[in-house]
Amino acid sequence: MPASRDYDDIPGTIVFDGRRSRRGYALNKFLMSLNQPANRAAFKDDESGYLDRFAVDDEQREAVLRREWLRLIELGGNVYYTYKLAACDGMTFQDLAGEQTGMSAQDFAQMMLDGGRPPVGNRHRAEWEAR
Amino acid sequence: MARLVGGVACSHVPAVGAAIDKGKTGDPYWAPYFAKLEPARAWMAEARPDVCLVVYNDHANAFSLEVIPTFALGLADEFPPADEGYGPRPVPVVHGHPELAWHLAEALIIDEFDLTLVNEMTVDHGLTVPLSVMFGEPEAWPSRVIPLCVNVVQYPPPTGHRCYRLGQAIRRAIDAYEGDERVVVFGTGGMSHQLQGERAGLINVDFDTHFLDGLVADPEAIAGISHVEYLREAGSEGIELVMWLVMRGALHPSVREVYRATHVPTSNTHNGLLILEDA
């Protein structure tokens, strides 16, 4: 696989490609398991013990236990898989999206009501670095 | 022969399903969006499809990272709603049309589209929310449904061009089917939205408008949009729009735009609804 991709220039965007899929395979396997009610109950009962069933690494384990949502995506979690953990905590998808931006839930919800994050100034990394 | 009576493009936002399931469609947040669905539902009632071919993507429910089919066709008699991590949606079981589905499988594979064939699978909000959008809350879905699941979760999804060509092949197969079924093809997902990363919340109304106009009038040009352009302009999840090109390919090159509605925001998404008929 090539080291860099044309889309790596898009700021704040972690495309779930082969690099992330390989990194996150065990993490996503854990997240996928939460589709089953019995597994959700077992996880809620003993989060760390439940994680022992999966080959997640220490960074991923810590990010799960601390609910570091952006970090989970950086460590190879796919956002749809990651939402299953957020749903366990009673979060909406908007909560999960907002958490990754560093904005408060209220500010993020208001931004969406106001028409969302505009593309202007958000297309290229250089635009963010120039801020 | 079977008759394709129209195409529907429709976002499949899970919060729209939740608003319906929890009786919140009259809330101030949701009422303006749901008001825009009425003409689409009226069209659907007139169209009376026997079968809806729904092009959608699964979101880590029927499929996981263990096996990732690019195109998967559902052949079963029925498809139960999936538990997506918070219990299944309280919507009717989806009934398939195995005879037409197997006809599509055979015709499309011989036509060089190498589909994955699926005899057992659940269906998630990607398929059931568009049914709710177009049919409301019936006791049983009034149409049989053939799911055509496209991978857009694991990069790379199929290209827009490939999706458009698949739609054209689907049309050839429908036209060649001996039954007299009335068929509506759905393309679902999109429009612009980004759910992950620090850029989450991206909405690009100008891109979406360009996409909608082009999908109607110049689909060959829209089929040429690259993955990086979708990702940059429509957001990392906006690339779901490639699935609308399967629907468009199934219609004639020249179409009549019956209805268009857009709404921002539904949760994190610029919501789109488009109905097309052959001109």
Q: Which of B12, B97, B103, B125 is catalytic?
A: B125
Each residue's pLDDT tens digit, A52-105: 999 999 999 999 999 999 999 999 999 999 999 999 999 999 999 999 999 999
Q: How many CB atoms lie within 10 A of CB B128?
A: 27
pLDDT at A19 over 80: yes
Indicate if the pLDDT at residue B28 is higher than 70: yes
Size of interface A-B (CB pairs under 8 A): 150
Domains assigned to chain A:
14-100 (1.10.700.10), 104-131 (no CATH)
**Residue to test with chain B: of A9, A100, A113, A114, most B Cβ within 10 A:** A100
Is B71's Cβ below 8 Å from some Cβ in A? no
Tell if the CB–CB gap between A119 and B154 is shorter than 8 Å. Answer: no
Q: Minimal Cα–Cα distance from A20 to chain B, Å?
A: 9
Q: Is A8 on the interface with B (CB under 8 A)?
A: no
Contact B39, B257 (CB under 8 A): no
Task: Tell me the percentage of chain B whose pLDDT exceeds 90.
Answer: 100
- Output the pLDDT for position A131: 85
User: How far, CA to CA in Å, does B102 sit from each of A34, A76, B54, B58, B119?
Assistant: 33, 37, 15, 21, 11
| ipTM rounded to 2 decimals | 0.97
Closest CA to A4 of B68, B228, B70: B228
A43 chain-B contacts, CB cut-off 8 A: none
| Among candidates B15, B154, B201 on the partner chain, residue whose Cβ is nearest the Cβ of A21 | B154
A111 touches chain B (CB under 8 A): yes
Q: What is the mean pLDDT of residues B139-154?
A: 98
pTM above 0.90, yes or no: yes
Q: What is the mean pLDDT of residues B196-211?
A: 98
Kindly state whether A71 is in contact with chain B, defined as any CB-CB distance less than 8 angstroms. Answer: no
CA distance B6 to B244: 13
Structure tokens at B270: 């610029």
Residue B265 scores a pLDDT above 80: yes
Rounded to whole angstroms, how far apart are CA atoms B38 and B43? Answer: 9
Q: How confident is the model at residue B1, as a pLDDT? A: 82
Chain A contact for B127 (CB, 8 A cutoff): no
**Alpha-carbon gap, residue B50 to B2, rounded angstroms:** 10
| Rounded Cα–Cα distance for residues B231 and A28 (Å) | 22
Average pLDDT, chain B: 98
| Interface probe, candidates A117, A127, A131, chain B, greatest B C-beta count within 10 A | A117
B193 tagged catalytic: yes
Q: What is the spatial distance between Cα A17 and Cα A15, in angstroms, rounded to a whole number?
A: 6
Per residue, what are the HEC states of B145-179?
Answer: EEEEEECCCCCCCCCHHHHHHHHHHHHHHHHCCCC
Answer yes or no: is pLDDT of A1 > 70: no
User: Chain B interface, mutation test: which of A83, A103, A127, A131, most B Cβ atoms within 10 Å?
Assistant: A83
Above pLDDT 90, what percent of chain A? 96
The strands making up B71-74's β-sheet, listed across from edge to edge, are B116-118, B71-74, B144-150, B51-56, B182-188, B3-10, B269-278, B255-266
> Considering B103, B193, B263, B270, which one is annotated as catalytic?
B193
Return the CATH class of domain B3-135+153-196+213-260.
alpha beta
Task: Tell me how long chain A is.
Answer: 131
